[in-house]
Structures are given as C-alpha cells and as structure tokens.
Amino acid sequence: MDELRDPRLRIFMNLQAFGDMPQQANGLKAIRDAGYDGVQFSQPLDHTRKDEALGLGLGVCGSGRVNTPAEAAPLAKEAHEAGLDCLTLHVGWGTENDDEAAALIAAILDASAQFSIPLYPETHRATIFQDPWRTVQFLQRFPELEFNGDFSHWYTGTEMVYGGFENKMEFFRPVLGRIGFLHGRIGNPGSMQVDIGDGSVDGRPYVAHFRALWTESFLGFLRRRPLSDRFCFTPELLGPEFYYARLFGGREESDRWEQSLVLVRIAQECFAEARKRWEAPNHPA
C-alpha cells in the first residue's frame, strides 16, 4: 500500500465491512499493520473502540442517518465532541418531496457549520440522493454541498451504462466536482459488489468506469482544496448478510480483505493520475 501513498489521500477501513472478515480476530491492529490510516465507525459510536483506534494512531470518522431536520445537529455535535474527522450520512428515504428534502439538506449544512465538522451525504439508494438527476438539481440549489461518492448505488441502481456511461457521467459532472469522501466498492450493471480480480480492466469495462469516476472526484477535490486538506477513501465491501457479497455454492465470491487492498491500490493510482493532471502546466485551475 505504501508505493503510491500521498499525504493528501487517507485510506480508512469501514468497520461494518471489517466486522466479519477473518482479520478482525486480530483487532484494529490488523488494519493499522496493513497500512490503513484510519477506520470508519457506524452509529451508535463505540467510544471504547474509538479510543483504541486513536491509541493505535488511527484516524477516526463515522457514519449515520438523518431522517428529519432535527436529527442533524445532535449527530454533528456528538461526532465533533468525540473527535471524529467527519461523518458520511444517509439522508432521508428517497420518498421526500423537494421541500422536505431541501429542509434536510439545509439542516445538515447548518449542523456542519455550527459544529465545524464535514458532513457528507451519500449517493446511496433509499435516500434523497439516490439518483443522479435529483442530486444535480439539489446541488444547483445548494452549491456548497459535498458528497460521499458511493457510486456503485448509481452505477447499478440507475444502470449507468444504459444510454451511454459517458453521457451519464457528463450530466452529473458537477457532482464529481463536489466529492469529499469515497466509499470503495465496484459493481457491474447487474450487481453492485463484484469480484474484480487484480483490478485490471480487461473483460471488466465497469472497472474502467469506476476508475474514471474516482479520478474525476479526486481531480475536483484538488481543484477546490488548499494543499493542506486531505481526502478519505474507504473500502466498504459488505458481507452477504447485507446482500452485498455474492454467494456461490455457499461461499463468498471473493476474499473481501484482499479485494479491499485492490480497491485501495486503484484509488491510489487514480489519485496519482488526478494529481498529475491537476499539476500539468496547461491544466485549468
């Protein structure tokens, strides 16, 4: 993992995914020893384990859900007081009308400012940001929004290749310019979490598509951020109990620990490419 490390790209492990990997028997030390920079917790926050992570020198961030505007500030306050770097959020259920969704967004932005903690709504199914079209409309209304790009939900859920991947990507390019966090998972048009082998694109066009999405997300970050700011990439390969990992003959399709490391390498390569493009003399700022 060290070969392509960049101090502006932090690599975390999502503990919900880690919880049923064999490596979890060795605790958070396994994550640290594998070269990860930190861990992402789910709500409710396990403060004992959070303190253990900090004691090991790992960064800590969190995730949660905001269903009503009143829930945003207490969640942000708790995360700030716990010393978390940021939160990714599932926002609403996707059935809200525009005014209801706007109230949720405004509450999240206010809470983020009030408690000085980044809050990244996810591009996730069953939320107000479950499809690209609506997300673009909300970004026009709230240009200060920043997102966690959990793009497998869009790629599979909206069948992004149907009608042309490049066309779809061009439409939501403004969203790619406002990504502050990435959940690492690659899907194909029919399944949102699949084995990608060594990460090569041969026979796997969807790997090339995710490379493009991640590179553009990193490039958008580099364009708008001061040099001292950092970006978090977090593999989130969930187990079969969440209906993410596929089972064949009663066995998981892949080794999710090893596949997470492949995703990390791809992300590091994409970040290096984005930085190269950003630093090019003739590249627009």
Note the pLDDT of residue 162. 96
User: Any alpha helices (H) in 27-145, and if so which ranges?
Assistant: 28-33, 47-55, 72-81, 98-115, 132-141
- Rounded to an integer, the average pLDDT of 227-245 is 91
- Taking 80 as the threshold, does the pLDDT of residue 281 lie above it? no
Token pair 């041969």 is at which residue? 202
Structural domain includes residue 264: yes
Structural domain includes residue 259: yes
Structural domain includes residue 4: no
Number of structural domains (the chain) is 1
Quote the CA–CA distance of 7 and 18 in Å, as a whole number. 24
Contact 14, 235 (CB under 8 A): yes
- Rounded to an integer, the average pLDDT of 234-251 is 94
Structural domain includes residue 183: yes
Tens of pLDDT, residue by residue over 38-51, are 999 999 999 999 99
Read off the pLDDT band of 68 (50, 70, 90).
very high
Structural domain includes residue 3: no
Structural domain includes residue 190: yes
Domain that holds residue 78: 9-278
- Rounded to an integer, the average pLDDT of 238-255 is 93
Structural domain includes residue 2: no
CATH of the domain at 188: 3.20.20.150
Contact 75, 88 (CB under 8 A): no
Tens of pLDDT, residue by residue over 147-178, are 999 999 999 999 999 999 999 999 999 999 99
Tens of pLDDT, residue by residue over 2-21, are 667 787 999 999 999 999 89
Tens of pLDDT, residue by residue over 83-123, are 999 999 999 999 999 999 999 999 999 999 999 999 999 99
- Taking 60 as the threshold, does the pLDDT of residue 182 lie above it? yes
Structural domain includes residue 23: yes
Cβ neighbours around 3 below 10 Å, total:
7
Identify the three-state secondary structure at position 179: strand
Contact 182, 237 (CB under 8 A): no
